[in-house]
Homo-oligomer: A and B are copies of this chain.
Amino acid sequence: MAKKSAHVRSIRDVLRIHPEGVDLAKVDPAAAPVGPTTKAEAAKDLEAIGVELDRLQENLYAEGVGGGRRRVLVVLQGMDTSGKGGTISHVAGLMNPQGLRVVSFKKPTRAELSHDFLWRIRRQVPGPGLIGFFDRSHYEDVLVPRVDKLVPPSTWRARYRQINDFEAELAESGVTILKCFLHISPERQKERLVARLRTPEKLWKYNPSDLAVRAKWSLYQQAYADLLVTCSTDVAPWFAVPSDRKWYRNWAVAQLLLRTMRDLAPTYPEPAYDPAVELARLTEADPLR
């Protein structure tokens, strides 16, 4: 028994991108390589994860109130319809909104473009005690400009190092970074785009430019493979999350976050006062007469 459990690979081992490289075409987006194998099982497990995450989040928040500097940043990237928004709804939705900082990065504005590409990102890093979710991120800056040749290769290549330096600096200042690439198949993307176009309440999620990006699928996959490998560091690892099935994607991101939070093991801060003394002040000498 003990031997067997020692061989059970953890979700982080299984999904982690390693520096030796990754061939995304060989990573199955419909797989369930670890964890639940049915939607019902995943839903049940997600509920339990939610209870634990909620408790850990309160501890982290309390730590921040007590002067702690630690926080968590979950970066979500993936092709259109991979479910960045859905993941936030289902995973962040398990926790207290007061301790969350959810940011969606759109196409940079002219003002944002006048600064360094990390400028707008830095401004949105979650404060102490918070859990941040980035729906797209600084990784867009080594995707779109590369594929669409908006900047010379030397520029986007230099950004890998700039990103690694930036993330190392964040880690040193107390930010634990968890990066999830939501990996979908082109077939599943097609299904989801068709569903958006056939559902009146989903039309707003579609943009004709989605097809121009889809046309460059393999260029994007190569750009993703490069950034995943180059920027999967010990302090800010990348995980490839099979995302053809929404229930597996939600479960996997929640589970990765849970493992991260357990490692952090936040605890309520020791009070910087004596509760007994304060109780006496309040009950025996209430300052409010």
Residues of A within 8 A of B (CB): 62, 65-66, 85, 88-89, 92-93, 95-98, 100-102, 104, 133, 135, 186, 190, 193-194, 197-198, 200-201, 203-208, 211-212, 214-215, 217, 268-269, 271, 273, 275, 278-279, 281-283, 286-288
| CB closest chain-B residue, reference A91 | B97
Residues from chain B with a CB closer than 8 A to the CB of A197 are 275, 278-279, 282
- Identical copies of this chain, number: 2
A89 to B135, CA, bound (A): 22
Contact of A215 among B65, B133, B208, B287 (CB under 8 A): B287
Chain A contact residues: over half helix, strand or loop, or mixed? helix
8 closest Cβ pairs, A-B complex: A215-B287, A62-B204, A92-B97, A203-B271, A88-B98, A197-B279, A208-B273, A197-B275
A197 to B211, CA, bound (A): 59
Contact of A88 among B66, B85, B97, B200 (CB under 8 A): B97
Q: What is the CB-to-nearest-CB distance from A97 to chain B, in angstroms, rounded to a whole number?
A: 4
A95 to B66, CA, bound (A): 28
A217 to B287, CA, bound (A): 9
A167 to B144, CA, bound (A): 38
Q: What is the CB-to-nearest-CB distance from A122 to chain B, in angstroms, rounded to a whole number?
A: 13
A sample of 19 inter-chain contacts (CB < 8 A) reads A62-B205, A65-B205, A88-B97, A89-B97, A97-B97, A97-B102, A101-B102, A186-B288, A190-B288, A194-B282, A197-B275, A197-B278, A198-B275, A200-B268, A203-B271, A206-B278, A211-B282, A211-B287, A214-B288
